Amino acid sequence: MAVLDLRFDGDPVLQQVAKPVTHFGDPLPTLIADLFETMYDAKGRGLAAPQVGVLERVFVIDTTWKEGERRPIAFVNPEITDQAPFKQQGPEACLSIPDRSFDVARPVWVDLAWTSPSGIAQKSRFHGVGAVCVCHELDHLNGILITQTGTEI
C-alpha cells in the first residue's frame, strides 16, 4: 500500500469523465488499498480515483472513522438508481480543494448500485452524511467539483 499524490483544483484530470472498470483483477485491489491509505492519511471521509490521477470509476468512503469506528466501503462503477425528491443543504470540503468549504445541496437519500472490488453486484440506500459523501465522490467520477455545484462559505 502507498500514500498517493493528490491532484488539486486546476488539474485538468479532475474535470474529466472517468471510464468504467472492466477488469476486476490486478491492479484494482492495489488502487483501492492505496485510495484508502491516501484518504486516511489526508484525514478525509472519501476519495475518488481521479483525485490521484486515475480516470476509472472507483471511489472509497469511510464516513465514521473520525468518530472512532472504521467502516470502509469501496465502490466500483457506482450509479444512482433513485433519489429523494428533497434536498438538504450542507457544508462540504474536498481533499482536492484545501482550506475551502462550500455549501452544497444534496438529496436527503440516494439509492446506489455498484460493484464490489471482487466483482459482486451491490446496492444500498445512503442517508444524511452517507448520501452527501457518495454524491460528492460520484461527482468526481463525472469531472464535477463542489466549486461548480456549491457556494463558497
Residues belonging to the active site: 137
Q: Does 112 bind Ni ion (CB under 5 A)?
A: no
Q: How far is the CB of 105 from Ni ion (least distance, A)?
A: 16
Q: Which of 35, 76, 94, 132 binds Ni ion (CB under 5 A)?
A: 94
Strand order across the beta sheet in which 97-107 lies: 87-94, 97-107, 151-152
Q: How far apart are CA 49 and CA 99, in angstroms?
A: 21
Q: Does 104 bind Ni ion (CB under 5 A)?
A: no
Q: How far is the CB of 85 from Ni ion (least distance, A)?
A: 25
- Those residues with Cβ within 8 angstroms of residue 27's Cβ, 6 or more apart along the chain or in another chain: none
Q: Does 6 bind Ni ion (CB under 5 A)?
A: no
Q: How far is the CB of 138 from Ni ion (least distance, A)?
A: 11
Q: How far apart are CA 16 and CA 56, in angstroms?
A: 10
Contact segment (CB under 5 A) with Ni ion among 5-13, 92-100, 104-112, 125-133 equals 92-100
* CB of 28 closer than 8 Å to CB of 4: no
- Which residues contact Ni ion (rule: CB under 5 A)? 94
